[in-house]
Amino acid sequence: MHRQPHSRPLTNIFILIGALLVSAQFRLQLPFGKAFDAGVLSSVGQQLSFFQARGVEVGSYCALRVEFFLIVVSVWLGASLLCAVTRERWFPVSAFLLSLAVTTALLWSIFAELSRLQIAYFVGIALLLKALMIVASQFQRQSRRSFAESVGILWKNKTLLLLWTQYNVRSRYSQSILGIAWAVLLPLATSSVLALAFSNILRASVGSVPFVAFMLTAIVPWNLSNYGIQGSTRSLAGAMNLINQANFPREILVLVTLGEGIADLIFTLVTLVLIVTLSGFPPSGLYIYLPLYFLVQLCLTAGIMFLVSTASVLVRDIPPLVSVGLQLLFFLTPIIYPISSIPEQYRVWLVLNPFSAIIQGYRDIFLRQPPNLSTLYYPAVCGLALVVVGYAYLKANESRLADFV
């Protein structure tokens, strides 16, 4: 019998490090706990929360140190070795709980200046991530193959995935006069209409940035996630005849939809760069961060797509719920407004929305503002967790899809 995902030792270290990163971000961004004193914020990576004005001193507090990671890794190695030597039957759970308890005690006792609220975040997030991994392992037990075997088979079928995506992209625009230009015109038209409404009618202010450029820097990357998640409601449910007749990894249907969104993104990025350049923001060295934000967004979107595509076959109420949810998410993400316009008491919802940091990061890069990389901790951990859980959920129900025609 295959070892389940949650029993892999590396899963525990991912959980502990992920919880450490997210707890540091939450302590800096969530408006709970004691306010920071005046001074300079000390943290790994970039120092200021992107919800705070640039250039404002926010407080003397060490949210993240290299020593924290050394403690986590050392304790995890010790706990894993102890459980292995004693041949503990409940190795994964015992090693994790032991590592978590010892790490928490060390952080509490050694770093007196470390906020107790951040330690509470660390414990709570670690337990939540472990619960998600256990759920993924339960899904994995229902699958005919291990996680690694499923990924290996998918990799062997990468040519099918690429050819299928290429065919779908071409067929979408082959019968239209403007062809691929529609991928550029639609977000440009949406941005122009919204810019007219918000800049001239509602008098929304975005500083010295032209409103069309401001909107496009968010709408273009948002369309990738919106198209992928919305399309995932049909990726499996709309291909049931093919599923009944051909044998291939079903996740390819989901990834083809994501590939179509990536193709549209590539074309629209060219127009976006041209418009922001004409608006006075030519390309800069900050573009080197774009692949990082793209990968985090890709993980987050793919994880949601795996869950939604499978659930849409099993429960037919999912597609309309996803449509409404995406509309709400659009307005809860800083796409049509700057973060500075949100009242302080409501910004907690922006922190809890992982797409907020991603969209704001894209906007900062295109408008030549250094992005706050520390705000990617939470979206990255969410994305990796959702990919594991979502993929396991799809593979667990793969053999049942034909029963729900």
For residue 329, the model assigns a pLDDT of 93
pLDDT band at 55 (very low <50, low <70, confident <90, very high): very low
User: What does the domain layout of the chain look like in residue ranges?
Assistant: 5-141, 148-404
> How does pLDDT run across 81-95, given as a tens digit for each residue?
777 676 555 556 777
What angle separates helix 377-397 from helix 354-366, to the nearest 10 degrees? 130
Average model confidence (pLDDT) across the chain? 81
For residue 333, the model assigns a pLDDT of 92
For residue 404, the model assigns a pLDDT of 66
pLDDT band at 15 (very low <50, low <70, confident <90, very high): very high
Q: Please indicate whether residue 156 or residue 209 has the higher confidence score (pLDDT).
A: 156
For residue 225, the model assigns a pLDDT of 95
Alpha-carbon dihedral sign for residues 185, 191, 192, 193: positive
Instruction: Please say if the pLDDT value at position 349 is more than 60.
Output: yes
What's the whole-model pTM score? 0.86
For residue 8, the model assigns a pLDDT of 58
* Among 59-68, 144-153, 209-218, 258-267, the least confident range: 59-68
pLDDT band at 50 (very low <50, low <70, confident <90, very high): very low
**Residue environment code for 97-130, b if the CB has 16+ CB neighbours within 10 A, otherwise e:** bbbbebbbebbeeebeebbeebbbbbbebbeebb
Dist CA 165 CA 160 (whole Å): 8
SS (H, E, C) 75-93: HHHHHHHHHHHCCCCCHHH
For residue 239, the model assigns a pLDDT of 81
For residue 213, the model assigns a pLDDT of 82
Q: Which residues have a Cβ under 8 Å from the Cβ of 64 and sit 6 or more positions away?
A: 20, 21, 24, 43, 44, 45, 374
Residue type at position 88: E
For residue 87, the model assigns a pLDDT of 59
Mean local confidence (pLDDT), 199-224: 75
Most confident of 71-75, 195-199, 355-359: 355-359
